[in-house]
Amino acid sequence: MRQRLSVETYTKGVLAGDRSTLSRAITVMESSLPEDRKLAGAILQNILPYTGNSVRIGITGVPGVGKSTFIEAFGSYLTSLGKRVAVLAVDPSSKQSGGSILGDKTRMEKLARDPDAYIRPSATNLSLGGVARHTREAILLCEAARYDIVLVETVGVGQSETLVKGMTDFFLLLMLSGAGDELQGIKKGIMEMVDAVAVNKADNGNEPAVTNAVAEYRQALHLFPETASKVPVQVVACSALENTGMELIWNLISDYFAQTTKSGFLEQNRQFQRIEWLREQIRQSLEDRFYENEWVQKHIASADEAVRNGEKLPEDAAGELIEMFLRSGNAFNG
């Protein structure tokens, strides 16, 4: 393992916007080793007052929709406006495929060389809960490093959309024309999460189909209930390949940000997200403490055995183990 720096070095480097220190700090966040978690907590505590100042944008869409090309085009447009842009990826599937680490950067060549952009590929070998925690922490670090816009890309596998929705201010769905939403493998419920739909690949003679798709999605969205933000969901066309629609998309995000700042929804939503994060953290820490407990470790095998054989009900076995765990609390942790 690469050597860790001091809390002060991480803090100063991140606050100075140093990309190399930022990367090393995010690596600390990705670790679940107890000493790294302690270090992570100390760094986060220091930078916490400097967080919360970015526009957090979640971006999703099925494979093939052109997410990387879009982020390259959109990110470059934003840096051309003088914005500093960070790109994070949430890809719980990379555990299996393992191919995303290099993938992200090579697919965003131009943005990767842009001094005002920071691209952090997906961490591998993390549970969904692990991905959730460290991505939230990475957002805070990027904000402390004065990135104005944080783009969180998700591959849309399993529950990753819900996860990204829960840590961003604005959720953008990329779609293709020439296919119903179901045909694109879009999971039920995702349309209810989005703040905008961008129909990509309005290029190479595909423009009329995209125009039709935009009209269809607009129509379809009328059937959905009003969003919590009360800002109507926008549907626009774009071409990541030809760099069109980027200004339009940024304008609608800016408008959304202005409206929800004024209405108070933006801050309400962030407060809600922090509480949700706390609840998840409690759930995770309770389980960690339980399974690390000496008494539990000593007795869980026989409990498992009785349940496995159908001799004991899971609820009874769980109850006994938890009683044991709680009684041992003072002895081991007090």
Is residue 333 a contact point for a second copy (CB under 8 A)? yes
Please choose, from the candidates 79, 89, 194, the residue with its C-alpha nearest in 3D space to the C-alpha of residue 151: 89
CA atoms within 13 A on the CB side of 225: 5
Q: Draw the binding track, 222-251, toward a second copy (x: CB under 8 A; -: no contact).
A: ------------------------------
Please choose, from the candidates 61, 67, 58, 91, the residue with its C-alpha nearest in 3D space to the C-alpha of residue 160: 91
Return the residue of 26, 28, 39, 44 that touches a second copy, per CB under 8 A.
44
In terms of CB distance, is 37 or 146 closer to a second copy? 37
Is residue 275 a contact point for a second copy (CB under 8 A)? yes
Distance, C-alpha 195 to centroid of its chain: 16
Q: Rounded to whole angstroms, what are the CA distances from 63 to 86, 155, 293?
A: 21, 7, 42
Tell me the window of 53-61, 175-183, 190-198, 238-246 that interacts with a second copy (CB under 8 A).
Answer: 175-183
Is residue 330 a contact point for a second copy (CB under 8 A)? yes
- Restricted to residues 119-138, the positions that interact with a second copy (CB under 8 A) are 133
Q: How many residues line the site for a second copy (CB under 8 A)? A: 57
The three-class DSSP label of residue 222 is coil
| Residue located via tokens 């606050």 | 15
Distance CA 48, CA 198 (A): 33
Length of the chain measured in residues:
334
In terms of CB distance, is 105 or 270 closer to a second copy? 270
Please choose, from the candidates 183, 144, 151, 184, the residue with its C-alpha nearest in 3D space to the C-alpha of residue 167: 151
Tell me the window of 17-25, 78-86, 206-214, 303-311 that interacts with a second copy (CB under 8 A).
Answer: 303-311
Strands 55-60 and 170-175: parallel
Distance CA 57, CA 248 (A): 15
Is residue 33 a contact point for a second copy (CB under 8 A)? no
Return the residue of 282, 294, 297, 302 that touches a second copy, per CB under 8 A.
282
Distance CA 217, CA 196 (A): 10
Is residue 23 a contact point for a second copy (CB under 8 A)? no
Tell me the window of 15-23, 205-213, 244-252, 286-294 that interacts with a second copy (CB under 8 A).
Answer: 286-294
Q: Which stretches of the chain bind a second copy, using CB under 8 A?
A: 37, 41, 44-45, 48, 51-52, 133, 157-158, 180, 182-185, 187-189, 270-271, 274-275, 277-278, 280-287, 289-290, 303-304, 307-311, 313-319, 321-323, 326-327, 329-330, 333-334
